[in-house]
Amino acid sequence: METGKTRRLRRIFRQDGKTVMIPMDHGVSVGPIEGLADMSETIDSVAKGGADAVLVHAGIAKTVDNQGMGLILHLSGATRLTRDPNWKTQLSTVKLALRLGADAVSVHINVGSEHEQHMLDQFSRILDESDEVGLPVLAMMYPRGPGIQNEHGYEVVSHAARLGYELGADIVKTNYTGDVESFRKVVESVKAPVVVAGGPKAGSESEALHLVSDSIKAGAAGVSIGRNVFQHSTPTLMTRALVEIVHNGSSPTQALSILGERSERILARA
């Protein structure tokens, strides 16, 4: 029998079990950066490109139409102006997510932060509240803190991803380790869909698309690409290129053809 959680997950993942998410939660942490000044325009652009879901904070969810895409409400955050931007605190609630018609909620945990325990405590409470009402939880599990030398290292990424799974996340989002074989081991140790974070802007479209392709080869259930999409000169086409790789099995070279003569152009600067 299909549950409410299953129905909601089907609005985020297609029948192939994969997803292209576009996170747009950056306004809380860094303000209205390029690409996010007009949220209606940006959300419309990625919807036209075929994105499966968008991830936003409550104010955006209240005021901007998600254009039929899956809606993930981000519940935590911090500004870059504070003493420790890595200390993410809860900003919205599961009840609000339900009122806004969200298909899932997301929580950011920096594993290795001096405030890791605080973030894990709020994460566990959100998991319990969400499970009670059948709302999926996406856990952003990032190795980040004073003791983390390489945020993309296999040991720390696999630990962070496994932690999210062990605590009960329905979807785990984490960093790519840099190579297919090591990331495959990360995916195999997590019996929940693993989504790869896009991270900082890539130097070129080719670099960004190769990361996506390698992630899918390693068994990832999709990608969550923000700046490399919404700060692109044509977000609709860049989104379409991601969809080609994730859902249609295209190579980076084939996906680049969607972008035409701009295929190797340096991405627009932030």
Q: Indicate whether 265 pLDDT > 50.
A: no
Say how far apart CA 181 and CA 215 lie, in whole Å. 10
Tokens of 101: 């018609």
Tokens of 190: 């997590």
- The 8-class DSSP code of residue 221 comes to S
Q: Indicate whether 64 pLDDT > 70.
A: yes
pLDDT in tens, 177-213: 999 999 999 999 999 999 999 987 888 899 999 999 9
Q: Indicate whether 270 pLDDT > 60.
A: no
One of 5, 18, 25, 165 is an active-site residue; which one? Answer: 25
pLDDT in tens, 209-242: 999 999 999 999 999 999 999 999 999 999 999 9
Q: Indicate whether 93 pLDDT > 90.
A: yes
Position 166, amino acid: E
Domain positions in the chain: 4-262
Q: Is 48 a catalytic residue?
A: no
The SS3 of residue 85 is coil
pLDDT at 1: 62
Q: What is the largest CA-CA distance in the chain?
A: 50
One of 142, 165, 201, 214 is an active-site residue; which one? Answer: 142
Say how far apart CA 130 and CA 54 lie, in whole Å. 19
Phi, psi of 184 (to 5 degrees): -60, -40
How far lies 92's CA from each of 9, 50, 61, 96, in Å?
A: 20, 28, 12, 7
pTM of the complete model:
0.94
Q: CATH fold of 4-262, please?
A: TIM Barrel (3.20.20)
b (16+ CB within 10 A) / e for 99-124: ebebbbbbbbbbbbbebbeebbebbe
Say how far apart CA 107 and CA 116 lie, in whole Å. 13
Q: What is the mean pLDDT of residues 61-75?
A: 98
Q: Is 25 a catalytic residue?
A: yes
On whether the CB atoms of residues 135 and 80 are closer than 8 A, the answer is: no
One of 173, 176, 201, 214 is an active-site residue; which one? Answer: 173
Instruction: Give the rounded percent of residues in the chain with a pLDDT score beyond 90.
Output: 92
